[in-house]
Amino acid sequence: MQISIVNYKTVKENSDFRYESEFWLPKYIEEENQLNRINILSLIDCVSFSNGHAFDSNEFSFEGEIYISKIGDVTQKRDFNSWERVSRKYFEEFKAKYLKHNDILMTLTGDPPDVGKVQLIFNPPKEKLSWNQRVALLRLKKQDKINAPEFLFIVLSSKYCRDHIERWAKGIRQRNVGNPAVLNMAVPILLGLQNSISDIVRKSFELLENSISLYSQAEQTLLSELGLVNWKPKHYLSFVKRFSDTQNSERIDAEYFQPKYEEVVERIKQYRKGYKPLAEIVKVKDKNFQPKDDVTYRYIELANISANGNINGFIEAQGKELPTRARRKVDAGDVIVSTIEGALSSIALVSDDLDNALCSTGFFVINSERINSETLLVLLRSLVGQLQLKKGCSGTILTAIGDDEFKRIILPDLPAIVQDKLKKKITEMYNAKALSKSLLDIAKRGVEMAIEKGEKEAESWIKTSMTDLIRRRDMDKEKKKDVGEFRGLSLASPTTPDVKNVESNKIIRKSSLASPTLPDPKPITPSQPVSTTKLSGNNTKADAPSKKSK
């Protein structure tokens, strides 16, 4: 039990007259007092603030020219290419603004703890990105207190600012925070740390961009090998098929017979090294696993798969608390493939730290002795796999691809030398992502430590942490491949430690940071509190695409 004793006058003077006990939790009061001990300024004094436009949902598609960030898109785990779009003509009718380099987005609505999430826009394409309603733009304005948007981004990511937003948000299931609560938020100045923190953040984002480039290189290597680099699938509005085709396939929907699906299959069949049906060269692990009630498991759901192929979190809970769809057991090196039509690109490689975890029955779990897992990942995420997955989908309310259609997919029989190239690029990609995340963790914890213990101690801790990263990378370089020198600094990635002392009957949502190829070095303390959520086990449907991002 937690108790706070608050003077009635203090409650009455509160601008919203908030008297519910959650608003006066001891941690909120302590964090407020902690900030009041150092130099701070209000957020309104250092940023301009703009709410997004209420774009008509009927205008959204994946065919427009302008990418729009919605609430679920505000995360560093999703690339802007996964955002929905509107046409430039429609966009310009609103006279809406474009996002620029180093802009910061913040969610004003979301399920706990999603309200108050922030995202730094780094090197965006010119006049291509914007933001939707209930997402706010924070743009650093000229003043002499906060000199770098990268530093402000980390401050806003810290537990102090996230807890402030959660404290002032209203609502039970879906939380909403008003503009005044955001703009009156206290921002620590920490003048002595701003440059070093900003430099770490820039290095992190450059590594993230490098990881995107590495995946693109892997995909281009595959398409070049198949002679599909310049091939673009064409969608036909009309075409002719025989009645016997519908009888043989037992399908009468026009989408199934789109010529582009047949064309990609024919291209694969023309591959000089041959091809094989997926069922002949890939093992599909479709046996259900029954969790034991009193055993704690890690569970991967669809919402944990990012658009760039990462497993960026999991739920930890006892078997009796897990949903009934938590029935697939995965091993390190497996590839999990979403069966849901709206999330077919949610495909990821299971890392070592998730060995023996469970995943939803909304995934296929596969591996192969003939094709390495990294190559499987690229094959199925590229148009080679995506078009065939799309073709195989059926259903009405929850459209998905079934087992038989999945096993009928054909894959090129790639030689070992090509597979090795793809594996190297994907391994480097995962390493770069893990390093990028580790740097953000150091920056965020450094800011929190400066608030709690002073800038000098925080600066010393940051230097020690960076040195430890280099040392651990050097110790492991005989086993692992370098991801390259980065401004003269070689980096390795720590993993996030498990959260201890949590009630056993709670479900814990965690971030999974480890790369499949990284060692298990000394952990860095996570800076954000872990949320606990009870889940119902009554839903027997496969995962549908989630609006939440954990």
Map out the domains of the chain as residue ranges: 1-35, 38-189
Task: Give the per-residue pLDDT at 471.
Answer: 81
b/e code 458-471 from CB counts within 10 Å (16+ = b): bbebbeebbebbee
Both structure tokens of 386:
């995506």
- Residues 505-510 have a mean pLDDT of 52
- Rounded distance between C-alpha atoms, residue 429 and residue 517, angstroms: 10
Both structure tokens of 355:
């060995």
Written out in words, the top-level CATH class of the domain with range 38-189 is alpha beta
Asked whether the predicted pLDDT for residue 409 surpasses 80, the reply is yes
Cα distance between the two ends of the chain: 27
- Residues 463-483 have a mean pLDDT of 73
Beta strand 47-51 pairing with 135-140: antiparallel
* Nearest in space to 167 (alpha carbons), one of 40, 70, 41, 31: 31
Asked whether the predicted pLDDT for residue 541 surpasses 80, the reply is no
Task: Give the per-residue pLDDT at 109.
Answer: 95
- Residues 102-109 have a mean pLDDT of 97
- Rounded distance between C-alpha atoms, residue 276 and residue 227, angstroms: 18
Task: Give the per-residue pLDDT at 16.
Answer: 78
- Residues 182-191 have a mean pLDDT of 97
* Nearest in space to 549 (alpha carbons), one of 19, 78, 93: 78
- Rounded distance between C-alpha atoms, residue 265 and residue 259, angstroms: 10
Please tell me the least confidently modeled range out of 51-60, 250-259, 379-388.
250-259
Top-confidence residue, 199 or 251: 199
- Residues 75-96 have a mean pLDDT of 89
- Residues 257-264 have a mean pLDDT of 93
**Which of the four pLDDT bands, split at 50, 70 and 90, describes residue 238?**
confident
Asked whether the predicted pLDDT for residue 93 surpasses 70, the reply is yes
**Which of the four pLDDT bands, split at 50, 70 and 90, describes residue 477?**
low
CB 133 within 8 A of CB 53: yes
Top-confidence residue, 499 or 202: 202
Asked whether the predicted pLDDT for residue 190 surpasses 80, the reply is yes
Asked whether the predicted pLDDT for residue 18 surpasses 70, the reply is yes
Task: Give the per-residue pLDDT at 503.
Answer: 37
Task: Give the per-residue pLDDT at 508.
Answer: 55
Please tell me the least confidently modeled range out of 101-105, 231-235, 535-539.
535-539
- Report the share of the chain in percent with pLDDT over 70: 86
Give the mean pLDDT of the chain: 86
